[in-house]
Amino acid sequence: MSMILSSLILIPLIGAIIALLMGGSREKYSKYVAIGFSAVTLVISLLLMLGVFGDFADLSESFEWISTSTFIMNYSLTIDGLSILMVFLTALLVLLVNVFSLDEHRENNNYFYALIMAMEVGLMGVYTASDYFLFYIMWEVTLIPMYFMISWYGGPRRHYSAIKFFIYTHVASLVMLIGIFVLGYESVEPGMAVNFSFDAIKLGIANAGITIQSLIFAMLFFGFMVKMPSVPFHTWLPDAHTEAPTEGSVLLAGVMLKMGSYGIIRICIEALPDAAYVWQWVIIAIAIVSIIYGAYGCIAQTDLKKMVAFSSISHMGMVMLGIGCMSEAGITFAVFQMFAHGLITAMLFMVCGMTGHKVGTREIPLLGGLAGRMPIYATFMMIAFMASLGLPGLVGFWGEFPVIMAFYEFILENDVIWMLLFCMLSLMLTAGYYLWAMQRTLFGPETTKIDLSKVHDVAHFEFAALAVLSILVAFFGVWPDAALQYIESYSTILMGVI
Amino acid sequence: MVAEIITSIFGDLTPLAAMIVLVIAALVMPGIQMFGKKHTATWAIAMIFVIFAMFIDMCLLVDGYVGYYLGVYFDQYSAIMGLLFLIVLFLVVLVSNSSVETTRNHAGAYYSLLFGATTGMLFVTTSYDLLTIFVGVELTSISSYAMVALKRKDGRSAEAAVKYAIIGGMSTALTLYGISMIYGIAQTTETYALAEFVAYNTEFNWAFMIGIICMIAGYGFKIAAVPFHMWAPDVYEGAASPVSMFLATGSKKMGIAVFIQVFLVMFIGAATLGTIYGEVAQYIFAIIAAFTMTVGNIVAIAQNNIKRMLAYSSIAQAGYILIIMAVMTPEAMAAGMFHMFTHVFMKGGAFLIVGALICAGIGEKISDYRGLAKRAPFLAAAMMLFLFSLAGIPPLAGFTSKFFLFASALGTPGDASGEWVWLAFVAVLNSAISLYYYARVVKAMYIEKGESTEKFKIPAAFTVAIVICLIFVVVLGVYPDLLYGFCEAASWTI
C-alpha cells in the first residue's frame, strides 16, 4: 500500500513537532524547519497532481482503526479530482505563508511555525479523509492551532475574537457530530455494526426514508455552513480576521473556509443527494443572501481587512450558489471558485496585513495616495482587487461568471428570471466596493492624516510570496483548464450518481 | 499461566485475592509507620502492595477468570472495575509521599485508610446483594471521611470532613430505609431476584417505588448527582489534592458501579420488556442525568477556585455517565465503563497537576495560573490536554469515550429508537458549554501574563504520575480498542 497520502499528513506533523521543540537559542532556525517541511509537502502534492504516483484510485489507503461490536472506524484516505485541488492549495498557501512571515520577527517564533504546521496537518486530513470519524477528528484538529494563532499573535481584541471563533465553530461541529451519529445509525440494518467509511455509509443511507435524510442533511449542513460562513452565522469571521495575524488570516480564509464548502459537496451532496433536492431552495436563498449581504457589508467597512473578510462571505456565497444549482456546471465552477478564492484571498490578506504593518493603520479614511510611496505594494493590491472582482484574464473571472451562468440555467428551468437581478446587483456591488476602496487608499492626494515618511515598500520575502500568487492568478486566469480538468473528472462522476 | 499460579496460591479464595492483599496492607501499614518512623519506607511498602494487587487483578482480567466464593462473584466486570479502582489507588499512592498536603506524620493511617477504602470498592464490584453492596459502600465512605480530615492544619479540611460525614450519614440512613422497604415487599435483597420481581410484576406498588427512590437518593449522594451534589465542591476543595482525586475518580466510580449493579441489573429486564417499573426508572434516571450534567456545567462556569471547578466538572461527567442508566443497553454500559476509565486519567491528571502546583507554592485560584505556560511549559501543556480531553476535543480520550457514550443514547445501530435522542442533544450541548470554562483555564495559563516568571520544580513522583495519565489520555484516544474490548465483554456479563 502506498503511503503517499499519509505522508501529506505525517510530514507537516513531524515539522510541527520539531518546530515546537526548538525553543530557546534554536528558535530562530524554526522558520527554516517550517519552510523545509512545507516545501516537501508542496512537492509531493504537485507530483501527485501531475500523476507521477499513478492513478488517484490506486493511492487509497485504508485500515481498520477502531472496531467494536457497534462501530467500525477506519483510518482511510482517498484522493480525487475534488480533493487534489484543495490539497494543492493547502500545501501552497502554507509554504507561502511561511515565506511571507520571514520578514517579521515575533516572540516565540517556534510556536508560531509549529501552529502553522499543525494547521496543515488538520487541513490535509480533512481534505483526504474518507471516514467520518477521521474526518471529524481532523476537522477539530484545525480549530485549536487557529485559536492559539489568534489569541497569541493577534491584534488588541484578540482574546474576545479567539474565544468567539472557537466556541462558534465548535458548537457547529458538535451539531455536525450528532448528524454523523444519526447518519451512521440510519445506514445499517438492526444488529449490524456501523461502518463509518464514506462508501459504506453512502450505500447504506440510500435505503433510509427521505424525512430522516433531510433531517441529517440539515444538521450536517449547519455545521458546514457556519464554517463557510454563510449569513446569518457569519459574525465570527470579521472579528476573527480583524484580530488574526496576517498569516492566520491567509490560512483561515484561504483554506479553512473551504473546509465548509468541501464538506457540503463531499458529504451533504455525495451521501444525501435526495435530501439536497429537498433543501435546494433553502441553499440558494442562503447563498443569495450571503452574496448580497457580504457585498453590502463591504461598502460600509472602514477597516481594509474587515472589508476583505466581508468579501469572503460574499464570494463563499457564490460557491454555495454553484452548489445549490445541483448541475454539473454549477458544481464544477463552485469548486473552481473555491480554488480561485483561495489564491486571491491569500493575496488580499497579505496586502491588507502589510498595510497595517507598514503604514500603521488599516483604516481606509486615514489612507490615501499610497501608490506614490509604495508602487510595488500598489501593483499587488490592484492585481488582487481586480482578480477578486472578476476581471477577465484573471482567475476570479472563471470562478464567478460560470457560476452565474449555471445559475442562469437553473432559473430558466424554474421560470424565475427575476432572480437574475440579484446576480447583477452583486456584481455591481463587488466592482463598486473594490474600486472605491482602491481609489481611497492608493490614488488621489497623499494623505496628511498619518505620517508616511517612514513607510517602506514590499520587503523581499513578502515580494516572493505575492509574486508567486500573482503568477498563479494570471496562469489559471488564462488557462483555467489546468485546474478544471481535475474538477470535471470529479463532477462528471458525481452527477452520474446523484 | 500466571493466573494459574495465582489460583493455586489462593485456592477457593481467588475471587478475593486482590482484596486480601489490600486488607493485609491496610493492617500492616500503621505498624510499619509506628516502628519504622520513616514515611518514605512506608510509602515504598505501600507501593509494593498496590502493584501486587494490580498485577493479580490484571492477570485475572486477561485470563478471563470467573469465580464464586461465599457470595462474592468475580467475573470480567469485577476485574475491569477492580482494575479501575486499583489504577486510581496506584496514582494516589504514587504522589502521596511527595505531596505537602498529606501529613507525613500520619502516613501509616493515611495509607491504611486508602487501602480500606479501595477494599470496599473492590468488594462492591463483586457483590450482587443489596446488603453486601451496602457494607462495601460503607467501608469506603467511612474511610473517606477520615481521609478528608487528615489535612489537619487547614480549617477547611475539618469543615469538609464534617460536612461529608453528616451528609454521608444521612444518605446511609436513606439507603437503609429504602432497602428495608424493598425487602418488605419483594422478600429478597438479591439484585437478580429483585430483577425478576420487577420484570414480572405488572402492578405498580408505591411502597416499592418509594424504596427505590430512597435508594436512588442515598446512592445519588455518593456520585453527587443533582440534586444531591451540594457536598462535593466543599469536600474536594477542603481535602488534600490526592484525596480529592481519590474521591472524584475512585469513590464516584464506585457510586456508578453501585448504580450499575443495583439499578441496572434490577431494571434492565423490565426496561427490555417495557413493563411499568422499567419505564418509570428509565425516566427518573434520564431526568437526573440531564439535570446533573446541566447544573454541573453551568455552575462550573462561575467558579474561580480550580478545585471547585473540577468538582463541578466531575458532577457534570457523572451526569454523562448516568446516560447509561436511562438507555439501559449493553452498548451504553460498555461506553459508560470506557468513559469511567478515560475520566480517571483526565480528571486524575488534572487533580495531580493542581496537587503538584500546590507543592510548588502556587495557589488554587484560576488567577494564580496566569502565565503558567512560561513558568512550567510541561505542566501547562499537560493541563491543557487534560482539560481539552474533558471537553471532548479529538483526538484525545475524552472525545472517543464521549463519542461512544452519546452515540449509545441514540439506540442500537439500524434500530435507532429515538427515545433518548433528546438526552444525547442535552449532553452534546453541555459539552459545548463545558468548553467555555476549560478554555478559561487554558487562557489563563497561555495567554494572560502572570506576576511571576520564575521557574519552579515539582516532585518527581508527580511528574511520573502525570506522564502516565497523559500517555493514557492520548493512547486511549487514538487506540480505544486497548480497553474497550474488555468493557464490552464486561457489559455482556451483567
What separation in angstroms does the CA of A360 have from each of A364, A455, B251, B284?
Answer: 12, 9, 59, 62
pLDDT of residue B418: 67
Query: Measured between beta carbons, which residues in chain A are less than 8 angstroms from residue B485?
Result: 68
Q: Which pLDDT band, with edges at 50, 70 and 90, does B455 fall under?
A: confident
What separation in angstroms does the CA of B146 have from each of A466, B19, B137, B434?
Answer: 69, 21, 15, 32
Residue-wise pLDDT for B370-428, tens only, equals 888 888 888 998 999 999 999 888 888 989 899 888 888 877 665 556 678 888 888 98
Rounded Cα distance between B68 and B366, Å, is 49
| Minimal CA separation from A161 to chain B, in Å | 13
| Minimal CA separation from A362 to chain B, in Å | 25
pLDDT of residue B65: 82
DSSP A206: T
Q: Any CB–CB contact under 8 A between A167 and chain B?
A: yes
Domain boundaries, chain B: 2-493
Q: How many CB pairs (< 8 A) connect A and B? A: 98
CB neighbourhood size of B31 (10 A): 12
Nearest CA in chain B to A195: B413
Q: Does residue B244 register a pLDDT over 60?
A: yes
pLDDT of residue B100: 64
Q: Which single residue is written with the C-alpha cell 477492580?
A: B82
Q: Which amino acid is at B292?
A: T
User: Would you say A248 and A146 are in contact if contact means Cβ atoms under 8 Å apart?
Assistant: yes
CA angle A172, A175, A176 (to 5 degrees): 90
Beta strands A194-195; B67-69: pairing state: unpaired
pLDDT of residue B350: 92
Query: Which of B337, B415, B422, B474 is the best residue to mutate to test the A interface, defined by the most A CB atoms within 10 Å of its own CB?
Result: B415
Q: Which pLDDT band, with edges at 50, 70 and 90, does B188 fall under?
A: confident
User: Would you say A448 and A377 are in contact if contact means Cβ atoms under 8 Å apart?
Assistant: no
Q: Does residue B11 register a pLDDT over 80?
A: no
Q: Any CB–CB contact under 8 A between B331 and chain A?
A: yes
Residue A288 three-state SS: helix
Q: Any CB–CB contact under 8 A between A136 and chain B?
A: yes
Query: Measured between beta carbons, which residues in chain B are less than 8 angstroms from residue A69?
Result: 331, 488
Q: Is B443 in contact with A159 (Cβ distance < 8 A)?
A: yes
pLDDT of residue B154: 77
Q: How many percent of chain B have pLDDT more than 70?
A: 96
Domain boundaries, chain A: 283-498
Query: Measured between beta carbons, which residues in chain A are less than 8 angstroms from residue B399?
Result: 137, 140
Query: Measured between beta carbons, which residues in chain A are less than 8 angstroms from residue B436?
Result: 163, 167
Residue A55 three-state SS: coil
Q: Which residues contact B44 (CB under 8 A, 6 or more apart)?
A: none
Sort residue A415 into left (φ over 0), alpha (ψ -120 to 50) or beta.
left
Q: Does residue B213 register a pLDDT over 80?
A: yes
Q: Which residues contact A182 (CB under 8 A, 6 or more apart)?
A: A212, A215, A216, A219, B410, B416
Residue A229 three-state SS: coil
pLDDT, averaged across chain B? 86
Predicted TM-score (pTM) of the model is 0.86
- Residues found in chain B: 494
Nearest CA in chain A to B485: A68
pLDDT of residue B414: 58
Q: Does residue B450 register a pLDDT over 80?
A: no
Q: Is A70 in contact with B407 (Cβ distance < 8 A)?
A: yes
Q: Does residue B204 register a pLDDT over 90?
A: no
Per-residue confidence in pLDDT tens, chain A, 498 aa: 678 889 999 999 999 999 988 877 788 888 889 999 999 999 999 999 888 888 888 888 888 888 877 788 889 999 988 999 999 999 999 999 999 888 777 777 888 999 999 999 999 999 999 999 899 999 999 988 999 889 888 888 888 888 889 888 888 988 898 888 888 888 887 777 888 888 888 888 888 888 888 999 999 999 999 998 888 888 899 889 888 998 999 999 999 999 999 999 999 998 898 899 999 999 999 999 999 999 988 888 888 899 999 999 999 999 999 999 888 899 999 999 999 999 999 999 999 888 888 888 888 888 888 888 888 989 999 999 999 988 888 998 988 889 999 999 888 888 888 888 888 888 888 888 988 888 888 887 887 777 777 778 888 888 999 999 999 999 999 999 988 999 988 888 888 877
Nearest residue, CB atoms, B428 vs list A68, A177, A184: A177
Residue A333 three-state SS: helix
Q: Any CB–CB contact under 8 A between B105 and chain A?
A: no
User: Would you say A473 and A383 are in contact if contact means Cβ atoms under 8 Å apart?
Assistant: yes
Rounded Cα distance between A426 and A293, Å, is 9
